[in-house]
Amino acid sequence: MYNGAMKYVIYDFNGTILDDVEVCLKAENYTIKHFGLDREPITLDEYLHIFTFPVQKYYENVGFDWSKNSYEEVGRYWFDWYRALRDEYKVFDGVKEILEKNREKGNLNILLSASSLVELEKQLEELGIAEYFDEVLGIDNIYAGSKVDIALKWIADKDPKDCMMIGDSLHDLETAKAMGVDCVLVAKGHQAKDVLLKSYDKVVDDIREVELI
């Protein structure tokens, strides 16, 4: 149970720790072509302005019709490309620095993601950063549902005042609000800075600008 001493910094993964926007965009355009959508490839600017959670809604924004293809079928094809392109994504500059800085302050690094837990742990090992995290929280499938339930279960025996969250999307903000914790959004991930600022003012350009708890 919570003893009032430990501080926790909760990090989103994709778009916050992992620089994978270009890979996601490339996989998306392969998926659009494969399923024969009558539209031009998505540009980076369009992607950053239409991406949202739940991911199923994002696919609808792209133009997918679930009466023609199932969400699971489309998601699986996209995911196969995403994994095939894994050599192209990397950890953001400054991430290891802030993880080490947080450890030096005596805090724990907690990873919270809408990614599959198995896939998440595999990626952390491949990227060589698994050792930086004291706890890894993910979902049990690849279709990127909400992580709010996982977050609420995790924080149940902790004081929200001793926690903060770092993310890159309004879904991370939603998750932080559900937990009752402070949040900072880094505008290098999957949603454009102007999209973030329309809903929230604690937005920075680089994770190294975050003031840790």
Per-residue pLDDT reduced to its tens digit, 97-126 = 999 999 999 999 999 998 888 889 999 999
Checking if the pLDDT of 140 tops 90, the result is no
CB 173, CB 199: distance < 8 Å: yes
Instruction: For 187-198, give the DSSP string.
Output: TTSSS-HHHHHT
CB 100, CB 119: distance < 8 Å: no
Q: Average pLDDT over the chain, rounded to whole?
A: 93
What is the bridge-based pairing of β-strands 18-19 and 203-204? unpaired
Cα-Cα-Cα-Cα torsion 57, 86, 48, 155, nearest 10 degrees, comes to 70
> What is the dihedral sign for C-alpha 128, 111, 16, 150?
positive
Q: Which amino acid is located at 175 in the chain? A: T
Rounded to an integer, what distance in angstroms lies between the CA atom of residue 59 and that of residue 84?
20
Length of the chain: 213
Q: What is the pLDDT of residue 101?
A: 96
CB 14, CB 171: distance < 8 Å: no
Of 34, 123, 120, whose CA–CA distance to 77 is shortest? 34
Average pLDDT of the segment spanning 59-84: 96
34: region left, alpha or beta (phi > 0 left; psi from -120 to 50 alpha)? alpha
Average pLDDT of the segment spanning 72-87: 96
Phi and psi at 206, nearest 5°, equal -150, 140
Checking if the pLDDT of 178 tops 60, the result is yes
Checking if the pLDDT of 45 tops 90, the result is yes
Task: Tell me the per-residue pLDDT of 157-174, one tens digit each, with 9 for 90 and over.
Answer: 999 999 999 999 999 999
- CA count, 13 A, side-chain hemisphere, 55: 19
CB 81, CB 152: distance < 8 Å: no
